[in-house]
């Protein structure tokens, strides 16, 4: 702590939750507030990094000293990540990204019709940004960090996800209706592709952010 150990580095952080529109007034979304990702951005600035924050629908003020790019959907987030990651030393995907989006977008508000059953919503798969960036690192030696939001079998699911996504570190946190999403605190285990397992006790999201950058610096 207190060191400028990210000086001269460019880091990219995604935060918030994507919204996948159905029509001009409705979307499929999730409960991410963006707080964990914004904490990562603030912490990296304090440690001397140049920070690009890709923010998906977070109702938070832009942190000082950070380049903020606002996006809406998973597809827009992917474009922004690929662009920002080109010269990045580290990419941290804290955003909650929708795995699926509605197959069609209605340009006019979808109406309910009297006496008719509701129409099912057909979904198509979104690109997996973390898997893509992990597989073809735009910059050699780039450290890629993912998050895993799990409700059960947190560690086992985290290990499997780390292997599947191919990132260097995976921050596993438990989520629920009133857990982690939107709160000021978090508790997590930082899993490394090298087999390491670092538990981070319940505390401010800023403290977890600092712990994550410690591990990135160690690998950078």
Stretch that binds ligand PMT, among 5-13, 26-34, 62-70, 211-219 (CB under 6 A): 26-34
Q: Which is nearer to ligand PMT, 31 or 48 (CB)?
A: 31
Query: According to CB under 6 A, which one of 147, 159, 212, 215 is a site residue for ligand PMT?
Result: 147
How many angstroms separate the CA atoms of 162 and 54, rounded?
A: 22
Give the total residue count for the chain. Answer: 220
Give the C-alpha distances (Å, rounded to integers) separating 71 from 16, 66, 174: 10, 15, 25
Listed ranges 1-9, 32-40, 49-57, 210-218: which one lies at the site for ligand PMT (CB under 6 A): 32-40
For residue 106, the minimal CB distance to ligand PMT (Å) is 23
E-strand spans in the chain? 10-16, 20-23, 26-28, 50-56, 67-71, 90-93, 100-102, 123-125, 143-150, 169-174, 185-192, 197-204
List the one residue out of 144, 11, 145 whose CA is nearest residue 88.
11
Q: According to the binding rule CB under 6 A, does residue 162 interact with ligand PMT?
A: no
Closer residue to ligand PMT (CB): 89 or 206 = 206
- Among residues 104 and 151, whose Cβ is nearest to ligand PMT? 151
Secondary structure letter of residue 179 according to DSSP: B
Integer Rg of the chain from CA: 18
Among 40, 54, 69, 148, binds ligand PMT (CB under 6 A): 148
* Distance between CA atoms of residues 191 and 143, nearest Å: 14
209 touching ligand PMT, by CB under 6 A: no
Q: Of 3-11, 45-53, 92-100, 189-197, which part binds ligand PMT (CB under 6 A)? A: 92-100
Q: Which residues are tagged catalytic?
A: 30
Binding residues for ligand PMT (CB under 6 A): 32-36, 74, 93-97, 99, 126, 128-130, 146-149, 173, 175, 180-182
């Amino acid at each position: 702590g207190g060191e400028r150990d990210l000086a001269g580095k460019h880091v990219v952080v995604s935060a918030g939750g994507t919204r996948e529109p159905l029509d001009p007034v409705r979307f499929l979304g999730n409960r991410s507030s963006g707080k964990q990702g914004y904490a990562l951005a603030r912490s990296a600035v304090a440690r001397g990094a140049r920070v690009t924050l890709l923010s998906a629908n977070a109702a938070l003020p832009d942190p000082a000293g950070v380049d903020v790019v606002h996006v809406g959907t998973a597809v827009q987030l992917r474009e922004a990540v690929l662009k920002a990651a080109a010269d990045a030393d580290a990419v941290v995907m804290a955003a909650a990204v929708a795995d699926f989006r509605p197959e069609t977008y209605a340009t006019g508000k979808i109406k309910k019709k009297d006496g008719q059953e509701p129409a099912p919503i057909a979904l198509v798969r979104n690109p997996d940004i973390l898997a893509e960036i992990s597989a073809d690192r735009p910059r050699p030696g780039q450290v890629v960090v993912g998050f895993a939001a799990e409700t059960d079998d947190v560690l086992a699911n985290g290990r499997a996800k780390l292997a599947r996504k191919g990132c260097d570190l995976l921050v596993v946190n438990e989520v629920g209706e009133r857990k982690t999403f939107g709160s000021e605190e978090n508790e997590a285990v930082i899993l490394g592709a090298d087999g390491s397992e670092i538990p981070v006790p319940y505390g401010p999201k800023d403290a977890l952010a600092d712990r994550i950058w410690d591990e990135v610096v160690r690998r950078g």
